[in-house]
Chain A
């Protein structure tokens, strides 16, 4: 259990942060996800833990967003100190995307999941993931140009 936690805790945290845009809420999500893992670990096929955790995280975060009446938080980047302004700009631009776009960008570009795998984790069709990634790319390109030349 500890090994799984240590291996996947930051993946879960980053995905939760992508959805929730709140450090405290993302930390709560990590706790709840691993508590669920503790409860259901006997039912998870070996090697499936990472995908299981990602899917549970995505669904839990949606629940939290609904429970919070779609409360929106203050800009997250002020809570996180990045090493360079460019990193901060990129992250802020990602955070400006919609919930599912942020999550898709994280899962696809950072975690390296395919669009099919990302779709399964997010409960979306592959087409929906592809279109979200496309929208995200267009948004990020525009935003980063603003940062660079604005």
Chain B
């Protein structure tokens, strides 16, 4: 068997046609000075040059149903419902499902009931209301009007932006999974291509903040989509910083230019594109404060109403429990399928890679569907530079949290992380 296995995989090689196409794509990208551009329209959100090589990928908890009127100017209630959750919507009873539909004879598991915490509007206003920025700015590109609605971010760099996309012709290309959207926009490919979705960046540094975008399916219609971008900004977000919601399109301009394929030496031609960018700028006026919790070994957990940042690498965290002063707990653990959607994070890891995610599936080995990431700060040694971030799927009042408990997971060195209890 081993021999057949080896020889079978030996035969799996890129086809010459694919090889040629990829070489051409790399050559085109290299010509742009290393810019990553959307060479195959509609495959993934457009990405551009980064002067700093940090890409952030944030997954958030959930997107909830709410009415269009909930986005009314000055009213944070709809915004809070969207960002922090709501009860009665999307909640569901336990049901049975195949643990791995890809596996013949897969195990049937019981997916626990999904109970959503109602948002205490008064408490939300008290905790984060002062830091909510109402934006209400729009631009239109390719017939789609993008409107940035409201923003909130904490001093750890975790944030959420609500925005809408409206188009009288509708959105035939809405692709996502469990509310998280990947591809939403497309134009006639003979004209060029367009970013698959808007994206965020930190103005000035030209630093891109990749976010995970969730669709509010209840509030959305064929022609108007209500969305929330959950993001993590590792670039030391400060009050007064400006963020931008950006859309880019690349349209063929009818010209061609010749170039030499750096790999084959062949002379080729390719169509020129004109790049057009539209964006909305908005200042982060203030940041939601976080509360620092410290474990006995000195490691920390910084908790805000929106999420938590741990100061180490936790690969395969089994459980995180926030214990409140009244004795109640907020727990997320491995097999608690949907209730574990409280987190994510990302950034370069030891391979220097941006956007390295780590995800465990539902087999009890780790936190289901939670994605976590780590990033080094500027210290090349990386020692002590790792961060693991989670976004809560509910509003958390840090001042009422007495401890944060973590269990499981391995550190950067591959050693098992000890159980930690972080206290104030």
**Docked-complex contact B1 and A140, CB < 8 angstroms:** yes
Identify which of B12-20, B63-71, B251-259, B275-283 touches chain A. Answer: B12-20
Question: A133 on the interface (CB 8 Å rule)?
Answer: no
CB distance from A13 to the nearest CB of B (A): 5
What mask results when residues 177 to 221 of chain B are scored 1 for a CB within 8 Å of chain A, else 0? 100101100000000000000000000000000000000000000
A7 within 8 Å of B by Cβ? Answer: no
Centre residue among B1, B13, B354 by max chain A CB count within 10 A: B1
Q: Which residue of B lies closest to A17 (CB)?
A: B12
Contact A109:B5 (CB < 8 A) given known A27-B18, A59-B357 = yes
B353–A127 touching, CB < 8 Å: no
Q: Inside 8 A of A99's CB, which chain B residues have their CB?
A: 102, 361
Please judge, given known A-B contacts A27-B15, A56-B353, whether A90 and B26 are in contact too, CB under 8 Å: no
- In the complex the two chains form, what is the Cα distance from A72 to B100 in whole Å? 12
Task: Find residues 325-367 in chain B having any chain A CB closer than 8 Å to their own CB.
Answer: 348-361, 363, 365-366
CA distance A40 to B349 in the complex (A): 12
Instruction: Output the nearest chain A residue to B360 by Cβ-Cβ distance.
Output: A124
List A contacts of B315 (CB < 8 A). Answer: 119-120, 123-125
Contact check, A13 vs B366: say whether CB atoms are below 8 A apart.
Answer: no
Chain A residues closer than 8 Å to B29, beta-carbon distance: 35, 38-39
Report which of B12, B34, B351 forms a contact with A55, defined as CB distance below 8 A.
B351
Residue of A nearest to B316 (CB): A125
Partner of B352, one of A5, A23, A44: A44
B355 engages A59 (CB within 8 Å): yes
B36 lies within 8 A of A36 (CB) = yes
Number of interface residues of B (CB under 8 A): 68
B353–A52 touching, CB < 8 Å: yes
Asked if B50 is at the interface (CB within 8 A of a chain A CB), the reply is yes
Q: Are B36 and A66 in contact (CB under 8 A)?
A: no
Pick from B15, B21, B177 the residue with the most CB of A within 10 Å: B177
State whether the Cβ of A149 lies closer than 8 Å to any Cβ in chain B.
no
- State in angstroms the CA–CA spacing of A44 and B354 once bound together: 10
Bound Cα distance A67, B1 (Å):
34
Contacts of A127 in B (CB 8 A): 365
Pair B40/A90 contact, Cβ less than 8 Å = no
Contact A125 B410, CB 8 Å, known A14-B12, A80-B11, A91-B8: yes
A14 to chain B, nearest CB (A): 5
Given A1-B30, A55-B356, A56-B356, A67 contacting B175 (CB threshold 8 A): yes
A69 touches B177 (CB 8 A): yes
Q: How far is the CA of A68 from the CA of B182 in the complex (A)?
A: 9
B95 at interface by CB-CB < 8 Å: no
- Could you tell me which residues of chain B, from 15 to 44, have a CB within 8 Å of some CB in chain A? 15, 18-19, 21-23, 25-26, 29-30, 34-36, 39-40, 43-44
* Cα(A125)–Cα(B407), bound, Å: 13
Seed contacts A2-B23, A43-B354, A63-B182; 7 additional CB < 8 Å A-B pairs: A1-B30, A5-B263, A31-B40, A48-B352, A59-B355, A94-B5, A125-B409
| Between-chain CB contacts (< 8 Å), 18 pairs | A2-B23, A10-B14, A14-B9, A28-B40, A32-B44, A34-B26, A38-B30, A42-B53, A48-B351, A55-B353, A87-B11, A88-B8, A91-B8, A100-B361, A124-B316, A124-B366, A125-B410, A131-B365
Residues of A within 8 A of B (CB): 1-2, 5, 9-10, 13-14, 17, 23, 27-28, 30-32, 34-36, 38-40, 42-45, 48, 51-52, 55-56, 59, 62-63, 66-70, 72, 80, 82-84, 86-91, 94, 96-100, 106, 109-110, 116, 119-120, 123-128, 131, 140, 144
